[in-house]
Copies of this chain bind each other. A is one copy, B any other.
């Protein structure tokens, strides 16, 4: 059971930013990833629909032998985590709680901004977790629905249009003088440089993926589920390279291309990506 894979899922390719962090922090762990590319995006869909899709995917990952589940999608973490936790016996972790915890630790003036999809922001979940961690923080949420399509269009880096979109979305957060901004969608770290430019160097950007990988390690330890291939704590040479498996519900080749911009080169080839559909 310890050497079973960690099941990770997202609405599409964005969750690979979480996979990348887990690879770095827990190099001995094998992963089985599912990207729901046939139904992407989740961020403009209802809670009920996102919960239904999440439960389907978790059932699939468990049938494939996953020992634990990481919901590497902010929208699904926001609306589905508590409900699926009750339904399944294995440990399930999302990205929202670790992201909120990291932000509460980083802020100095207690003013925290959160950007994400419509469904994530409407859920108010970051607000809830942030205030649970520290009742004195003030939280400003802002949905940025065009950020995901801009990333998927590849208009990154110094792009003039992307920068203007960012200025429009982020203006009210700047006015509130936040000192910490949670990148509450797995695509947003790919826009980090333009977001940092617009917000200014003094604002700390929090990527929940980093903290999620750290929390995952504690969770595996607690449940005695850390792989015996090594967790990165020992001698790196002793770690045998784990095998990862990737599933998508549509468009394996397109997924591979986008994945190449997130994961280390040669992590996956087209033929390693399998297609699984639910309907």
Contacts and interface: CB of A to CB of B under 8 A. Distances in A.
Contact of A39 (B39, B161, B251): B39
B146 A279 contact: no
Contacts of A153: 145-146
Identical subunits present: 2
A56 to B, nearest CB: 7
20 contacts: A37-B45, A38-B39, A40-B44, A44-B152, A45-B251, A46-B250, A48-B250, A49-B249, A49-B251, A52-B277, A56-B279, A145-B152, A145-B153, A146-B149, A160-B164, A161-B164, A161-B165, A164-B164, A278-B279, A279-B279
Contact of A168 (B39, B48, B150, B161): B161
Contacts of A277: 49, 52
Contacts of A39: 38-39
Interface in A75-92: none
A250 B277 CA distance: 19
Contacts of A279: 52, 56, 278-279
Interface of A: 37-40, 44-46, 48-49, 52, 56, 145-146, 149-150, 152-153, 160-161, 164-165, 168, 249-251, 277-279
A168 B48 CA distance: 38
Contacts of A250: 45-46, 48-49
A45 B160 CA distance: 28
Contacts of A160: 164
Contacts of A49: 38, 249-251, 277
Contacts of A38: 39, 45, 49
Top 6 nearest A-B pairs (CB, nearest first) are A279-B279, A149-B149, A49-B250, A38-B49, A46-B251, A39-B39
